[in-house]
Amino acid sequence: MSNDRFFPRRLLIGQGLLASFLLPAGLRPLMAHARPTHHPAGPGRHAPPPGRLVMLDPGHGGKDPGAIGVSGTYEKHVALAAALELKRQLEATGQYRVELTRRRDVFIPLESRVGHAQARGAALFVSMHADALPDHGVRGASVYTLAAHASDAQSAQLALRENAADRFAGRAFHGMPPEVAQILASLVRRETRLGSAKVARDMVGALETSVPVLPNPERHAGFVVLKAADVPSVLVEMGFMSNRQDEAALRRPDHRVRLAAAMRRAVEAYFATSDHLARMAG
């Protein structure tokens, strides 16, 4: 199936670009109002290096340990260690700027994680987790995108656990007529969903060649942390702390290197498609 169905010519309001051919002619003059304000570097501040910003979100932290493994490993520690390795690999390519929603063991509300990605103008948001299930025999990675209804009961339960502490209300287009804001928001949400679906497919394709994955590993549910309206977002469950094999693997640096390498390849594939379609669009 053609990638164009899942990733058409991009509407990148978050990146300061708007594909005006997607808008009715009467709305094109309003496109500038839909762009976020970027402040130039002031005295004593350095402009960020070139390259798109990838925001990595190590799940949990601080007072929230996340899942606790069968031998006592905390999800929050595994998530941060894996995110730091993925950051290292992405930065080594010289193609991306990479930030983390947390770099140490602190608690950050879900809305703040999403808000940080939006405020920084992230081109991609990847949330990293390793949950637990009552069935300790279940193991393997999986990738989730946002949906109003979960793809299966297991995904629904995972979303409930991840969302337990926080709520998030989407960002509005301020200072615009309501009918214009509604049209623009709808276009942005549609393009974000398509972008999220594309990176999820790339992520699953890369992971399944490197690490064990769940049956039907591309799934969806109502994860609060994926609700940025203008940033393509995925949540990667790297394995299950409730499974002895997954927990042992995630504790090993060599496994996290292999896992991060697969995720890096997925990020590269996602942006390669984005660049190709942008060139086709002229």
Beta 213-221 vs 124-129: how paired, if at all?
A: unpaired
**Structural domain contains residue 26:** no
**Structural domain contains residue 43:** no
**Structural domain contains residue 151:** yes
**Structural domain contains residue 244:** yes
What is d(CA 25, CA 114) in angstroms, rounded to the nearest whole number? Answer: 32
**Structural domain contains residue 218:** yes
**Structural domain contains residue 76:** yes
Q: Global pTM?
A: 0.72
CATH number at residue 253: 3.40.630.40
Spell out where the chain has E strands: 52-58, 96-100, 124-129, 141-146, 213-221, 233-237
With 90 as the cut, is the pLDDT of residue 253 above it?
yes
Residue 173: the pLDDT is: 44
- Hunting for tokens 């927990």 — which residue is that? 247
**Structural domain contains residue 100:** yes
Provide the number of structural domains found in the chain. Answer: 1
Q: Which of these ranges, 83-87, 132-136, 252-256, has the smallest mean pLDDT?
A: 132-136
Are 277 and 224 contacting, i.e. CB atoms less than 8 angstroms apart? no
Query: For all residues of the chain together, what is the average pLDDT?
Result: 76
pLDDT band at 39 (very low <50, low <70, confident <90, very high): very low
Residue 183: the pLDDT is: 46
pLDDT digits 0-9 by tens, 104-138? 999 999 889 989 999 999 999 999 999 999 999 99
Residue 160: the pLDDT is: 61
Residue 123: the pLDDT is: 95
Question: Residue 253 has which token pair?
Answer: 């640096």
Q: Give, in degrees to the nearest 5, the angle at Cα 75 between 109 and 196.
A: 60
Are 196 and 127 contacting, i.e. CB atoms less than 8 angstroms apart? no
Give mean pLDDT, residues 239-259. 98
Residue 266: the pLDDT is: 97
**Structural domain contains residue 179:** yes
Domain carrying residue 202 = 50-281
